[in-house]
Amino acid sequence: MAGGSSVVLDNGGGLLKAGFGGDKDPIAVVPNCIAKSPGSNTNSKKWLAADQLQAQDIDVTGMTLRRPIDRGYLINTEVQREVWERVLRNLLQVDPTNSSLLLVEPQFNPPGLQHATDELVFEEFGFNSLCVADSPSLVHLYEASRQPSLFHAQCSLVVDCGFSFTHACPVLQNLTLNYAVRRMDLGGKALTNYLKELISYRSLNVMDETLLIDDAKEKLCFVSLDVPRDLRLARLSFKDNPFKCSYILPDGIMYKKGFVKDLDEARRYCSLPVDRQSDRIDGDTNINKFEDQKKPELSQNEFALTNERFLVPEMLFHPIDLGKDQAGLAECIVHAVQACHPYIQPVLFESIILTGGSTLFPRFAERLQRKLRPLVPEDYQVKIIPQENPILGVWRGGSILASSPDFKSMCVTKSEYEEMGSARCCRRFFH
């Protein structure tokens, strides 16, 4: 096993990213959960962890999931230990006792959970030292290393659309301004659950198929630039419907993973004109193509999607449609910027960095730009910076930090922890 290295661990609620400081990309990008097939005994040890769930011969249909992170926070250290054990011992092949750990911590982590995490790092795995960082500062660090304008401005607004939450976080000189952070209680998990409900109501019961519906969401959902128009188009018969597509569920014999039935069919929406005026539908002309048309027969192991494809990501911009009494993403960003000093507000609007898996929806950045422009003063510019890989952006920032000369001085060593406990970590990392 490797020793004397710096391990960078982005412990996300959906995906765990792990690798070594100084590397460009992580070695492991795996589900941060354990799962078991529906036929297994509850007390059996046949729980699959991390990369085992990604094996091609594993049928994920109806699997029972256990996640260590709920609502963004690490609450089940037993499950987290199993996942980390699999990643560190088998994938990274590292000896924790001779290694430092850079751990990405969620915003506003409660003290009790911080102490439990410290115990897991030092007492269970025996890491030599620990450094805790938050995702916005690492994203800013990575993007500033790539873009000179951000490096000179020294501030940015990081919009992190993660698994459990969506945060708008102003960052100044690599420090997150916690007093200005604004949060939405919506993330990738809520979107997946909403898609499960829609499909179960309209087609098949897929409430137990979290992994499969998550895959369907990532491959088929997109952000609409004109929701009223797209809702009218979605009413057309399947032949004329640009959003209609089918997703095949695994049958356990010929194929073990779900997949899109026809990729070309699924991409037909890309040919729609962007301008609202350029594609008006005459209701009288098309009325015969609407609901009276018979839907094509579907096999028992597939379901069709139409307007669900853009209604699910729409929740990020209009949470009230999901019954959540809170502002949308554009309003959340404006509130975060307005909480900062007026001198840096124009710069923040000019350097909005998108990170997190939910920002990968096609047309996400363009829709956000359109929503933001009317809310921002006319003399301010709005510039949105999508990351090259929003899933790996936090980890890459951590890799840069872990390979910097100052990294050792930022860590709490195991001897310091044994002497002063989590109190030392609290003072060092401003918990």
What are the distances in angstroms from CA 160 to CA 106, 254, 323, 391?
Answer: 11, 38, 22, 10
What does the pLDDT average to over 262-268? Answer: 89
pLDDT value for 203: 87
Under the banding of pLDDT at 50, 70 and 90, the label for residue 298 is low
Compute the distance between CA of residue 190 and CA of residue 209 in angstroms, rounded to an integer: 14
Q: What is the Cα–Cα distance from 183 to 55, expressed in whole angstroms?
A: 35
Confidence of residue 148 (pLDDT cuts 50, 70, 90): confident
Q: What is the pLDDT of residue 431?
A: 45
Contact predicate 7/94, CB 8 Å: yes
Q: Are 101 and 9 in contact (CB under 8 A)?
A: yes
3-state secondary structure of 11: strand
DSSP at 21: T
pLDDT at 294 (0 to 100): 46
The pLDDT of residue 151 is: 73
The CA distance from 328 to 205, in Å, is 29
Q: How confident is the model at residue 353 (pLDDT cuts 50, 70, 90)?
A: very high
Confidence band (pLDDT; 50, 70, 90) for 297?
A: low
Tell me the C-alpha to C-alpha distance, in Å, between residue 184 and each of 71, 106, 367: 11, 14, 18
pLDDT band at 325 (very low <50, low <70, confident <90, very high): confident
> Which residue's structure tokens are 């459990």?
164
Of 246-250, 337-341, 426-430, the one with minimum mean pLDDT is 426-430
Encode pLDDT of 86-122 as tens digits. Answer: 999 999 999 999 999 999 998 888 888 989 999 999 9
CA 414 to chain centre: 32
- pLDDT tens-place string over residues 369-394: 999 999 999 999 999 998 999 999 99
- Cα dihedral 252, 254, 255, 261 in deg (nearest 10): -120
DSSP 38-87: TTS-TT-S--EEGGGGG-TT---TT-EEE-SEETTEE--HHHHHHHHHII
Q: How confident is the model at residue 423 (pLDDT cuts 50, 70, 90)?
A: low
User: Quick one: pLDDT at residue 3?
Assistant: 52
- The set of residues, in sequence order, having a beta carbon less than 8 Å from that of 428 and lying 6+ positions away, is 410, 412
pLDDT at 84: 96
Instruction: Supply 6's token pair.
Output: 């710096």
For residue 284, pLDDT over 60 is answered with no
List all residues 6 or more positions away from 106 whose beta carbon is below 8 Å from its beta carbon: 72, 73, 134, 135, 165
User: Three-state DSSP class for 182?
Assistant: strand
- CA distances from residue 89 to 94, 96, 98, 131, 274 in whole angstroms, order as listed: 6, 9, 13, 20, 50
Task: Return the structure tokens found at 24.
Answer: 């460009």
pLDDT of residue 255: 82
Q: What is the pLDDT of residue 278?
A: 45
Count CB neighbours of 398 within 10 A: 30
**pLDDT exceeding 90 applies to what percent of the chain?**
67
Q: Which of 278-282, 323-327, 361-365 has the lowest mean pLDDT?
A: 278-282
pLDDT, residue 184, reads 93
- Is the model's pLDDT at 281 over the cut of 50? no
* CA–CA gap between residue 69 and residue 75 (Å, rounded): 6
Query: First and final CA of the chain: distance in angstroms?
Result: 32
DSSP code, position 219 = H
What pLDDT, on a 0 to 100 scale, did the predictor assign at position 147? 85
0.75 surpassed by pTM: yes
As separate numbers, helices (DSSP H) first and strands (DSSP E) second, the chain gives 17, 20
Q: Which of 216, 219, 223, 224 has its CA nearest to residue 200?
A: 216
Nearest-CA neighbor of 176 among 149, 161, 157, 163? Answer: 157
- Asked if pLDDT for residue 164 goes beyond 80, the answer is yes
Please provide the average confidence, as pLDDT, over all residues in the chain: 88
- Alpha-carbon gap, residue 123 to 413, rounded angstroms: 12
Residue 33: closest CA among 71, 64, 72: 64
Looking up tokens 């959906």 gives 14
Please state the length of the chain.
Answer: 431
| Cβ pair 203, 306 in contact under 8 A | no
Which strand (E) or helix (H) includes residue 133?
Answer: strand 129-134
Instruction: Please give the average per-residue pLDDT across 354-367, as a whole number.
Output: 95
Mean pLDDT, residues 166-186 taken together: 94
